Each structure stands twice: as C-alpha cells, then as structure tokens.
Amino acid sequence: LLLNCAIATMMPTPAYGLIEDGCIVINGDIIQWVGPKSDLPKDISQQDAQDMQGRLITPALIDCHTHIVHGGYRATEFEMRLNGASYEQIARAGGGIISTVTDTRAATETDLLQSALTRVDALIAEGVTIIEVKSGYGLDIDTELKMLRVARSIEQHRNVRIKTSFLGAHAVPPEYASCPNDYVTQVCIPALEAAAQLGLIDAVDGFCESIAFTPDQIAQVFTRAKDLHLPVKLHAEQLSQTGGTQLAAKFGALSVDHVEYASANDAKVLSKSGTVAVLLPGAFYTLQETRKPPVYAFRKHSVPMALATDCNPGSSPLSSILLALNMGCIFFGLTPEEALAGITRHAARALGLNDCGIIDAGMRADLAIWDVSHPSELAYRIGFNPLHKRIFGGQLCH
C-alpha cells in the first residue's frame, strides 16, 4: 500500500489522469486498486503501508524504440557530420550502419551484452522497465540471430522486460550492394524465419528510405511477417517521403517511427489503422534535421504519439529517455502531458502491450516514484534525473 502520493495514472482524462492525494494497492506483481485516499476501501490492510511523502508516482517508463545492442561506436563519423557531411553522404561512403555491422559481426555475444548493459543501466536509472531492442546490425543470418539472443538475454541480467524486433531490412550489406533484392530473399527473409522459429522476435521492423529499402522490398518482408503471425512496425518517412507510412498502415503496423516527412494524408491513414507515431527527437537532434513530424496532423486525426531514444551508435547515441521527453516538447512541440503519454501509455501501445503504460487495477505493478510534485517537471528539466525509486513487478528494485 503506497500512501500520500500524487498519482499520474496516465489514463486519458483528466490531464495526466492525475489523482492529487492518492493511494495505490499492490498485490504481488499486479495493481489491485488505485484512487483518492478518501476512497480507499476499508478492508485494505494498512499493515505494510509505505508513506510516499507527497512524491509523484507515474507508470514506469517504456523506451519503445532502441538499437541498444550493437558493436563498436561511431564518434569519428560524429566529427565528419560536424564538418558538414550529411547522413546520406556518410552512408553512401560506406560509413553509417555498415560500419557498425562490421563491428557487430566481429563482436562476441559477451561483448555485445556487456556494452548493451551499460546503456540499459542508464535507462533503468531513469525509471524504465520495458525496452524494445532491434536487430539490424548483423545483415547475415548468424549475426542477426546473435543480436537477438543477446537482446533476449538482457532480462536474465537486469530487472526489465525486453521486447525484440527483427530489423534485417535495416541496410543492404556490401556483399549484396549490387543486388538488394537478393539480400531480401536470400538473407533477410530466411533470417526472419529462423528468428521466428527460435522464438527470438516479438515484431518485425524495416527501414523504408532512399538509402535503405523500397516499399516493395519492405512489403515482401512484411508479408512473410504476417504469414508468421508477427506484428510489424516501420522506420518510415525519416529523410524523405517514400510511401513507407502508407505501406505500414496497410499492414496494420503497431507503429511508424521517425515520420518527420509524413504528410497530413498519412496521418489520416494512420488513424484508421490504429498505428502509433513514434517520434525520435534524438535522431532529429543528432542529424541536425530541420523537417519536423506533423504533430498538428497527428493531433487532428487522433494518431497516438510515442517518444523513444532510438538509442543507436550513429544517428541517435542517446541513452536518456528523460532527455527524449524534453526534446519531444522543445523540438516537436508536444505538451508535457503528450510527451509523458509518449513514454508510457502510447509507448506500450507501440509495442502491442496492454498490461502496462497506465496505473489502473489489473495492470502490472511497474511504477516510477519521483522527487517531484507535478508530472510536467519530468519534461521541464534538462539533464536532471529526479527518480526516487523504481518498482518492477511489485518489487522495489534498482
């Protein structure tokens, strides 16, 4: 029993689903009751009540888009970009994703796990309990499976839940540069089938972009994903209008991600398919992009918006979900409430999860307790972590 706390349940209404002087009753790993202290059922034992001393409690945070497992790093490229090279120029010069592929293919599973855990710990320290982790730096069957095994193993080493996404359609590896369609049919799809067979993936992702895969190639991968009863999501309209968002909506995608170049018509289509728009301000910031996602159109068509770190060694070496929250407001114009919904309720939806992301009876008892009094402070502060305690599955933990 948690007493004397402000609770941002993140239910859609009222703002933040806020309960000023509330209580939460936890039973095992499930929330049994939440509400104003004055309505606390009389039969609830006060024996192990814990006084929160007025602190704010939110749902634990969810980072719904990361490439947190990867080999090597790309600081050299960072310098190139600061000297004016564009992301696409670097990619075409064999830098970018392909340089991380080389490092990831060479890394052992232990190396990959140890380096990923340093970034996982940064997210845990900010109250995160669920992390989505993509493959996509192997681009051969063995390394894609190696990445996904490492991603799955994170749960054995930390108190977090991991959702994995297959991203074999991330880039065309050099050995297939002249025949990308052969990569799709001879490597990407067989890797997808092997990963599905081994139970290593929860969803299938792709990168639909001029420097990556065409809508037709993505459609081939998504058709196979649907045959395997796997949900899909897509890196879409990040650097140009390619039709990725429309394609993803056609496949009933859980989410479309980046979407800086999505149109108002795309927003209309997304609202029909129930697809979440995942905004990734870390990549927008790192790449010094100027085109912003059509937040107004997403609002107008009630497209749920999520936020995530897109933690990856190239376009978004960001391991702070709280900074992503602040950037979502500053760069993309989200309200603090929309931003917080973007790393709780809407992030859960982007992962196809219905047992978390809000504080309500029956939900998992995954909570974050903050040394702040109002939820807007979480987006307001820059580079400051006010987390007091994290509760994972009903247990206080680090």
Ligand X SMILES: O=C(O)CC[C@@H]1NC(=O)NC1=O
Out of 164, 165, 315, 320, point to the residue binding ligand X (CB under 6 A).
Answer: 315
Distance in Å, CB of 100 to ligand X, minimum: 5
Distance in Å, CB of 208 to ligand X, minimum: 9
The token duo for 241 is 């209008």
When asked if residue 310 is in the footprint of Fe ion (CB under 5 A), the reply is yes
Q: Distance (Å, rounded) from C-alpha 139 to C-alpha 168?
A: 6
* CB closer to ligand X out of 100 and 164: 100
When asked if residue 262 is in the footprint of ligand X (CB under 6 A), the reply is no
Q: Distance (Å, rounded) from C-alpha 237 to C-alpha 220?
A: 19
The region of 15-23, 247-255, 311-319, 347-355 touching ligand X under the rule CB under 6 A is: 311-319
Non-local (6+) Cβ contacts of 89 within 8 A are none
**Contact predicate 190/224, CB 8 Å:** no
Element (H, E) at 59: strand 56-59
Distance in Å, CB of 238 to ligand X, minimum: 6
Q: Distance (Å, rounded) from C-alpha 327 to C-alpha 259?
A: 16
Distance in Å, CB of 239 to ligand X, minimum: 8
The region of 14-22, 139-147, 306-314, 383-391 touching Fe ion under the rule CB under 5 A is: 306-314
When asked if residue 127 is in the footprint of ligand X (CB under 6 A), the reply is no
Q: Distance (Å, rounded) from C-alpha 88 to C-alpha 219?
A: 23
Distance in Å, CB of 170 to Fe ion, minimum: 8
Residue indicated by tokens 């305690």? 389
When asked if residue 207 is in the footprint of ligand X (CB under 6 A), the reply is yes
By CB neighbour count within 10 A (0-12 exposed, 13-18 middle, 19+ buried), where does 351 fall? buried
Alpha carbon 97 to its chain's center = 19
* CB closer to ligand X out of 143 and 238: 238
The token duo for 295 is 């937040």
When asked if residue 248 is in the footprint of ligand X (CB under 6 A), the reply is no
When asked if residue 283 is in the footprint of ligand X (CB under 6 A), the reply is yes
Residue with the CB atom nearest ligand X in the bound state: 314
* CB closer to ligand X out of 234 and 365: 234
Non-local (6+) Cβ contacts of 161 within 8 A are 129, 130, 131, 155
Give the footprint of ligand X on residues 82-101 (CB under 6 A): 96-97, 100
Distances (CA, A) of 367 to 58, 180, 281, 336: 6, 44, 24, 19
When asked if residue 289 is in the footprint of Fe ion (CB under 5 A), the reply is no
Contact footprint for ligand X (CB under 6 A)? 96-97, 100, 170, 207, 235, 238, 283, 312-315
Contact footprint for Fe ion (CB under 5 A)? 310
